[in-house]
Chains A and B, each alone.
Chain A
């Protein structure tokens, strides 16, 4: 056994609560600036006004400690756990749920999770949270809390394309789905696109994609170019802020591509609303 770093899960519970707090009351740096820039490009008064309301909402949320949205989300937690780490104490599941439960109670956040999808009794705690763990190299634990509202989550979709499909056809599909979703997911959108992998991985990558970083450029120039082309196309649909019309339908497009089977080409979409809510920390 080499040197193992011991991390009590108590610390993980505390960190996840702190991340819920950060994500609930403020968007990541750079988002408000995107809406200000969009406002300058809109000629339609209602679109300009709506973007102004979104920015004012963020300001009120921050100053008055009111959640950005009354739908305080499903709490999605990504844990990248270094393989040289030993977690000690209660189970990771219990620690994360405890951190979430305490934060939602303490911060007056809405509890939106039902215990069963069909019988639908509210757990009253916003738990369980939805955990995705990865084992990575090193002795650190990376935690990302991503809050996802139900209205935008309901617009998620997956299509299994033929491998010989053209990129234009994929772009048509993405555009059609964003227009069809229209006002429902509260645009301007942060659109996550998972391409490749298996059906389940494509959907997960669509989630991970929007957490890449506001203002970041895809490291692969091919995908960076594709993101710009999709963004430009979405902003020509007319959907606009909250679907009232305009040229600000999407704030950013983030693609996460993955190797896939010779017979498959999954494309998954994660439509995030204008209130992008995530926060990260490395232990």
Chain B
């Protein structure tokens, strides 16, 4: 595997360079949000309220970890299905988010919103929560503590692996897989 090292937050040049099928290793900061957190952030964006983070250039990780055992920064921490966050993609992109990490296909509307705003969709290794937890250095709740496993987190990661599924040029790895390798 030929891995591309990336910093998160993601700069515009990197987002433009990436192509579907590229494998990347993120180091830096990821923000974690899933269903309910997306619903709340999207409402805040629509209302013009202050967000719990500066979304510009950020990479959002769709995830809800298991509780951290003593001595570990986080429990198992693999991606959740991304399609449930499709209705919120446009608002998140409009606020400046530049990357999303999850697993599984996105809706045509979500793909179009990401393409139009220059945001890249990545999948990480679904169901490999123990493996991925080893790439997470620290985890901190930054908002929506009342949501339990759905709270919004800030992670510091090192060499966190992901695969580009939808690049900003219309490429789609999941479609390629069925077409070329079927």
Chain A residues within CB distance 8 Å of chain B: 44-46, 49-50, 53-54, 56-58, 60-61, 64-72, 108-112, 122, 124, 149-151, 154, 179, 182-184, 186, 236-240, 242-247, 273-275
Report the stretch among B7-15, B48-56, B73-81, B152-160 that lies at the interface: B73-81
Is the C-beta of B133 less than 8 angstroms from some C-beta in chain A? yes
Supposing A111-B148, A179-B178 touch, asked if A273 and B65 sit within 8 A by C-beta, the answer is: no
Report the stretch among B91-99, B107-115, B119-127 that lies at the interface: B119-127
Supposing A54-B128, A151-B81 touch, asked if A66 and B148 sit within 8 A by C-beta, the answer is: no
What would 6 A/B residue contacts be, using CB atoms closer than 8 Å?
A50-B125, A57-B127, A66-B75, A69-B76, A72-B66, A109-B67
Supposing A46-B23, A151-B81, A186-B127 touch, asked if A68 and B76 sit within 8 A by C-beta, the answer is: yes
CB distance from A182 to the nearest CB of B (A): 6
Supposing A45-B1, A46-B163, A54-B127 touch, asked if A151 and B104 sit within 8 A by C-beta, the answer is: yes
Q: Which residues of B lie under 8 Å from residue A53 when comparing CB positions?
A: 125, 128, 131, 161
CB distance from B80 to the nearest CB of A (A): 6
CB distance from B96 to the nearest CB of A (A): 27
Contact A183 B103 (CB under 8 A): yes
Chain B residues within CB distance 8 Å of chain A: 1, 21, 23, 63-69, 72, 75-78, 80-81, 83, 103-105, 123, 125-131, 133-134, 148-149, 161, 163, 173-174, 176-182
**Contact with A275, one of B64, B127, B174 (Cβ below 8 angstroms):** B127
Q: Which residues of A lie under 8 Å from residue B67 when comparing CB positions?
A: 108-110
Contact A67 B75 (CB under 8 A): yes
CA distance A112 to B21 in the complex (A): 32
Contact B180 A70 (CB under 8 A): no
Q: Which residues of B lie under 8 Å from residue A57 when comparing CB positions?
A: 125, 127-131
Q: Which residue of A lies closest to B149 (CB)?
A: A110
Q: Which residues of B lie under 8 Å from residue A183 when comparing CB positions?
A: 103-105, 123, 126, 174
Supposing A57-B128, A66-B75, A183-B123 touch, asked if A108 and B174 sit within 8 A by C-beta, the answer is: no
Q: Which residues of B lie under 8 Å from residue A49 when comparing CB positions?
A: 1, 23
The total of Cβ contacts below 8 Å across the A-B interface reads 160
Contact A66 B23 (CB under 8 A): no
Supposing A66-B75, A184-B81, A246-B181 touch, asked if A109 and B66 sit within 8 A by C-beta, the answer is: yes
CA distance A195 to B32 in the complex (A): 40
**Contact with B105, one of A54, A184, A240 (Cβ below 8 angstroms):** A184
Contact B1 A240 (CB under 8 A): no
**Contact with B129, one of A70, A179, A182, A246 (Cβ below 8 angstroms):** A70
Q: Which residue of A lies closest to B124 (CB)?
A: A242
Supposing A108-B67, A108-B68, A183-B104 touch, asked if A67 and B129 sit within 8 A by C-beta, the answer is: yes
Task: Select the residue from A111, A124, A238, A274 with max chain B CB neighbours within 10 A.
Answer: A238
**Contact with B177, one of A45, A108, A186, A240 (Cβ below 8 angstroms):** A240
Contact B125 A242 (CB under 8 A): yes
Task: Select the residue from B21, B65, B133, B176 with max chain A CB neighbours within 10 A.
Answer: B133
Supposing A71-B80, A184-B83 touch, asked if A110 and B64 sit within 8 A by C-beta, the answer is: yes
Contact B1 A66 (CB under 8 A): no
CB distance from B71 to the nearest CB of A (A): 10
CA distance A124 to B147 in the complex (A): 11
Q: Which residues of B lie under 8 Å from residue A71 when comparing CB positions?
A: 64, 78, 80, 129
Supposing A49-B1, A238-B182 touch, asked if A70 and B66 sit within 8 A by C-beta, the answer is: yes
Q: Which residues of B lie under 8 Å from residue A184 when comparing CB positions?
A: 81, 83, 103-105
Q: Which residue of B lies closest to A50 (CB)?
A: B125
Q: Which residue of A lies closest to B80 (CB)?
A: A151
